[in-house]
Amino acid sequence: MADYQGNLQNEQQTHRQTRGIVNGLQQQTANLQNQLDNANNAIGGLNTQIADLTNERDARPTQQQLDRERETRAASHERNQAQINNLQQENRRLQLINQGLTGGLERHLDNELTAYIIQNVNNNPPFYGRRG
C-alpha cells in the first residue's frame, strides 16, 4: 500500500507539474496572441497610411501633365502677347489717323472761322473811327 500511495503522490506531483507547465504555456500563448493582435493592428495602420499616400500621389499631376500645362500656358501667353502687340500697333495707327483728322479739322475750322470773321467784319464794320 505504501507503494501505491507513493506512486499516487508521484503521479499527483507529476500532474501538478504538468498542469503548471500547461498553465504557463497557455499564458505564453495568450501573450503571443496579444502581440500578434498588436502587430496586426500596427500593420493595418501602416496599410492605411500607405493607401493614403498612394491616393495622394495618384492625385498629383504627372510630370508629363505639368509639362503639357506649361506648354499650353506658354502658347497662350505667346498668343496673348501677339494680340497685345497687334492691338498696340492698331492703337498707334489709330492715334496717327486721329492726329491727322484732328489737324485737318482744326485747319478746316480755322479757315471756316477766319472766313466767318472776315464776312462778319465786312458786313458789320467796327465802330471805332466812326462818328455818328
The answer to whether residue 28 is domain-embedded is no
Its domain, for residue 85, covers 77-122
Q: What per-residue confidence (pLDDT) applies to 7? A: 85
Evaluate whether residue 90 is within a structural domain: yes
Residue 31 to residue 25: CA distance in whole angstroms: 10
C-alpha distances (whole Å) from 96 to each of 48, 78, 92, 103 are 70, 27, 6, 10
Tens digits of per-residue pLDDT, 50-98? 999 999 999 999 999 999 999 999 999 999 999 999 999 999 988 888 7
C-alpha cell at 87: 492691338
pLDDT band of residue 126 (cuts 50, 70, 90) is low
- 35 lies in some domain: no
Q: Is residue 63 part of a domain?
A: no
Q: What is the domain count for the chain?
A: 1
CA atoms within 13 A on the CB side of 94: 6
**Could you tell me if residue 33 is inside a domain?**
no
Please answer whether residues 93 and 101 qualify as being in contact, where contact means their C-beta atoms are separated by less than 8 angstroms.
no
Question: For the segment 33-55, what is each residue's pLDDT rounded down to a tens digit?
Answer: 999 999 999 999 999 999 999 99
Distance of alpha carbon 11 from alpha carbon 18, whole angstroms: 10
Is pLDDT above 90 for 32?
yes
Q: What is the pTM of this model?
A: 0.47
**Domain annotation covers residue 91:** yes
> Which amino acid is present at 62?
T
In a domain? residue 114? yes
User: Does the residue 108 lie in any domain?
Assistant: yes
Among 113, 109, 131, residue whose Cα is nearest residue 121: 113
Using the predicted structure, report yes or no on whether residue 99 has a pLDDT greater than 70. Answer: yes
